Structure 1
Amino acid sequence: MEQKINYLEEKMAIMQHELAQMSHEVYAQQKEVAQLMLEIEKLKSRLENMQPDSGILSPNDDVPPPHY
């Protein structure tokens, strides 16, 4: 019976350790997602503020490739 208790205690300790690691990973990923979302918002803002004569064609500019 004592062996079984020791086994269960070991399993519980391992699971607690793994849970702590996963929690840390989730936190790191949430932080990274927040940074990426901020970067996306910055890029969207830059695109919205771009001048039409910036040299970048819009999808509506139906210009054939130079080899035609």
Structure 2
Amino acid sequence: MDPALQQRLADLESRLAHHERMAEDMSEVIIAQGKTIDRLTLQIQRLRDRLETAEYAILSPEDDRPPPHY
């Protein structure tokens, strides 16, 4: 086989290995980000539920009436 062709093939194999490793690394990052997003979404939902509960505990029908000076 021609030495230039062998070198070109070796270069392509090296580049392919590099791209495969990059794809694996990016996949790991995407998985980690997905887990973080899921965790943060759950935290937001819990905070929203707590805030809603606190709002209902504070509000009463009298709060909807305008002040006496109106």
Fold shared, TM-score > 0.5 on shorter chain:
yes
Runs of 5+ unmatched residues, structure 1: 54-68
Identity over the aligned pairs, expressed in percent?
30
Q: What TM-score do the two structures reach when normalised by structure 2?
A: 0.73
Which of residues 22, 34, 44 in structure 2 aligns to 1:40?
A: 44
Structure with the greater alpha carbon radius of gyration = 2
Q: Work out whether 1:52 is the aligned partner of 2:58.
A: yes
Please identify runs of 4+ aligned residues in structure 1 that moved more than 4 A: none
Distance 2:58 2:14 in 1: 65
Distance in 1 between the 2:58 and 2:37 partners? 31
Aligned residues: 53
> Secondary structure of the residue that 2:58 maps to in structure 1?
coil
Q: In structure 2, list runs of 5 or more residues that go unmatched.
A: 60-70
2:12 aligned residue (4, 8, 12): 8
Please list the CA deviations of residues 7-49 of structure 1 after superposition, one character each: whole Å capped at 9, or x if unmatched.
0000000000010000000000000000000000000000010
* TM-score relative to the length of structure 1: 0.75
1:28 matched residue in structure 2: 32
**CA–CA distance in 2 between the matches of 1:31 and 1:11?**
30
